[in-house]
Structure 1
């Protein structure tokens, strides 16, 4: 299991395609900046284990099912927050505001899934293995175990890679593409 920065870096990597699919650069930046924090969502089981009997780290919260349920509950709230930011600023386009609920869901769900993937890469050596496809498949799916538990190089490497990919994607984002008005003037 990578440390917090590693999970956030993995979330940044998984969110990087936003720059390709969202035409408005500021909207993409808001989605990435607001969403990557949810790369820590499955670790909500750490504080929950102190309050709820039977909840343990890498247990039920580290499943696609629970991450999806949490995204269904939290995602629309994130979408509303994005939409309100767009109403007050130009950081969330009017086109994106029409799909704010779906965008909010994806901004929570994708980083949550990235957390499960990062744990699949590193959890088996010392920590409890995760069962990401429970209840459909019981037991670990594929144990890759390619990263050391709390590996410094993996944690900082993932975070640096995630930031770098998003900075490059920002630089080459769709705002550099010709707009309808600029292509009309060249005809």
Structure 2
């Protein structure tokens, strides 16, 4: 598990890459903006463990199954009440399904969290089992860096910001080309 700033950075990196592949201009920027907060989604278990002693960090909510289920529920809510507000001068949702757009943004953000934890989890927390309940093994964890390493955390965040900045710049160029 990386620190909060590292998770946000990893989320920005993943969202920027996926948005480049799937969308153009402001639609790509909206995808990154919509999904970034959900790069922290699996750590909801830290809050849940305060209310329910049976909830463990890096347990069920640190799985692809949870991220997918949460993405469907949260994405549907975002598609209904948040994505339509993007339509306008700032961020433009895709012409296709706003549900796929919102669910995809939440899903990519959540997956980025699992990936970051796989790179650093064994230091102070249990290893991640992202493929549970299908694979009940912890062999997918690769201890590449210490979770609280400021160089890694800030490096991820600044890299993510740089990629998001490139998308913003490209979106602005797309608007300039249309206006001309």
Fold similarity call, TM over 0.5: yes
Aligned to 1:21: 22
Change (3 A) 1:63 1:72: same
Q: CA deviation at 1:147?
A: 1.0
77-86 or 110-119, which moves further after superposition? 77-86
Q: CA deviation at 1:97?
A: 5.1
Runs of 4+ in 1 over 6 A off after TM superposition: 176-179
Change (3 A) 1:86 1:161: closer
Q: CA deviation at 1:92?
A: 4.5
Aligned to 1:102: 100
8 Å CA contact 2:30–2:92 kept in 1: the answer is no
Aligned to 2:111: 113
TM-score w.r.t. length of structure 2 = 0.88
Map 1:28-177; keep pairs closer than 5 Å.
28-87=28-87, 89-93=88-92, 96=94, 98-173=96-171, 175=174
Q: Counterpart of 1:137 in 2: which secondary structure?
A: coil
Equivalent residue pairs, number: 178
Q: CA deviation at 1:44?
A: 0.4
8 Å CA contact 2:12–2:161 kept in 1: the answer is yes
Measure, in 1, the Cα distance between the counterparts of 2:47 and 2:83. 30
Structure 2, unaligned runs of 5 or more: none
Matched, 1:8 2:8: yes
Deviations 1:17-43 (A, max 9, x none): 3134222x2232222112101000000
Measure, in 2, the Cα distance between the counterparts of 1:151 and 1:85. 38
Q: CA deviation at 1:178?
A: 6.7
- Alpha-carbon RMSD across the aligned residues, in angstroms, is 2.3
